[in-house]
Homo-oligomer: A and B are copies of this chain.
Amino acid sequence: MSPVYFDHNATTPLDESVLQAMLPFFREHYGNASSRHEFGRAARQAVDDAREQVADAVGAHPSQVYFVSGGTEANNLLIKGVAARLKPSQVAVSAVEHPSVTVPVQELREHGWKVRRLAVDHAGRIDMDEAKSALREPTGLMSVMLANNETGVIQDVASLAELARSAGALVHTDAVQALGKMPVNFATLNVHAMTLSAHKIYGPKGMGALILDKRLDIKPQITGGGHEKGLRAGTENVPAIVGFGAACMLASDRLAQSSFNLEQMRGRMNQGLRTMGAILFGDGAERLPNTSYFALPGIEGETLVMALDRAGYAVASGSACSSGGADPSPVLLSMGVERELARCAVRVSLGRGNEMSQIERFLQALQDEIFRLKKLAAIAV
């Protein structure tokens, strides 16, 4: 039996219809989009069409869409690109950002920038007073994610953007986890820049976009040919761009139905987890409909992930991107969770292919594993 995939915040399966949209660009229309012959024109047309699809999905104009190799590159491009064009001042980021934001931001220190970390409350929400207080200092850039990869907690980016704009700061939001799981609108969020990724929405890996207010002057990070209006050099990854466009259309079409289904399943999941004595992180805050982040006190997250893997369930103990480390999640620590408890964190992130019956069986399997692990622990003592 194939294992059950409950790790959709790490990556999603490629939708078969997205793959079907991509295949002609692997097979027949393989031209370089910069070439001036029939193969090139077919590729260019496909890139233009996909740019419209991505723009449509997030309420942006196609001219605001810049294709890059993924969310990490988009975050790096925006942060380093903005900082290179501004006089160093303060950059404000939430305490729960993804490493692809926090690490580039830390690097700005070398160039004279001051980093201000915006604290979050126990549920993982950015404190508005904290944001106001931060913005009293001259601030060049604020970067706040729309939804968190670990907790699924949604930030009030529109309000934060308003505060930031009043203070004269540019605002960026990493919407990688939000896209496809909640409405995402570049115009109504009123940010200057937004990061998207294809492989989190049943699209291909190696593809993402920076949505950018055209009035912003940012320094390109990968230079050479004049691709993407000079902002990102390199031969266009046409099949992946086409796949990203197709995945964006799917995401928009299916959002309402899929949110409803995910919410139902997550509700049952959380109910089951509570009866087992689990502590749910981010509970109470507005959250993505697919994410359950919990801890069973006394059972290490890593241990449980491995046990569940053997039992046929793919879940995560933290962000897949910050792999390897045995350190507790910085996101949880910033929410005031004790280190001991944070080490027990396990994330279940549901997706389109999951069904209620899988949740029921998972809860049973989890119950069994808890029993087994506790027995082992009792023997060890």
Q: A residues near B, CB below 8 A?
A: 2-3, 5, 7, 10-14, 16, 19, 26-28, 30-32, 34-40, 69-73, 75-76, 98-104, 107, 197, 199, 204-207, 221-227, 233-240, 302, 305-306, 308-309, 313-317, 320-324
Contact = CB atoms under 8 A, between A and B. Distances in A.
A268 B343 CA distance: 69
B225 A309 contact: no
Contacts of A7: 31-32, 35, 37, 39-40
A198 to B, nearest CB: 10
Contact of A305 (B37, B100, B197, B321): B37
Nearest to A38: B3
A30 B13 contact: yes
Contacts of A39: 3, 5, 7, 314
Nearest to A316: B35
Q: Please give me the 9 A-B residue pairs with the lowest Cβ-Cβ distance, nearest first.
A: A100-B224, A206-B237, A69-B69, A72-B234, A225-B321, A37-B314, A34-B323, A11-B32, A10-B32
30 contacts: A5-B39, A7-B31, A7-B37, A10-B32, A12-B30, A14-B26, A14-B30, A19-B27, A32-B320, A34-B321, A34-B323, A35-B314, A36-B302, A36-B305, A37-B308, A37-B313, A37-B314, A37-B316, A69-B73, A70-B234, A75-B224, A76-B223, A99-B225, A100-B233, A107-B223, A197-B235, A204-B239, A205-B240, A225-B322, A226-B323
Contacts of A99: 224-225, 233
A38 to B, nearest CB: 5
A234 B16 CA distance: 24
A234 B314 contact: no
Contact of A103 (B3, B26, B223): B223
Nearest to A5: B39
A36 B204 CA distance: 20
Contacts of A240: 205-206
B3 A234 contact: no
A309 B3 contact: no
A343 to B, nearest CB: 15
B40 A320 contact: yes
B100 A223 contact: yes
A103 B224 contact: yes
A7 B31 CA distance: 9
A83 to B, nearest CB: 13
B11 A224 contact: no
A225 B30 contact: no
Contacts of A101: 224
A221 B224 contact: no
A271 to B, nearest CB: 24
Nearest to A107: B223
Given A69-B234, A72-B224, A27 B10 contact: no
Which of A26, A28, A104, A324 is most buried by chain B, counting CB atoms within 10 A of its CB? A26
Given A34-B321, A40-B320, A223-B100, A11 B235 contact: yes
A330 to B, nearest CB: 13
Nearest to A200: B235
Given A205-B237, A235-B70, A11 B36 contact: no
A3 B314 contact: no
A50 to B, nearest CB: 14
B73 A222 contact: yes
Which of A37, A238, A313 is most buried by chain B, counting CB atoms within 10 A of its CB? A37
B316 A238 contact: no
A224 B234 CA distance: 21
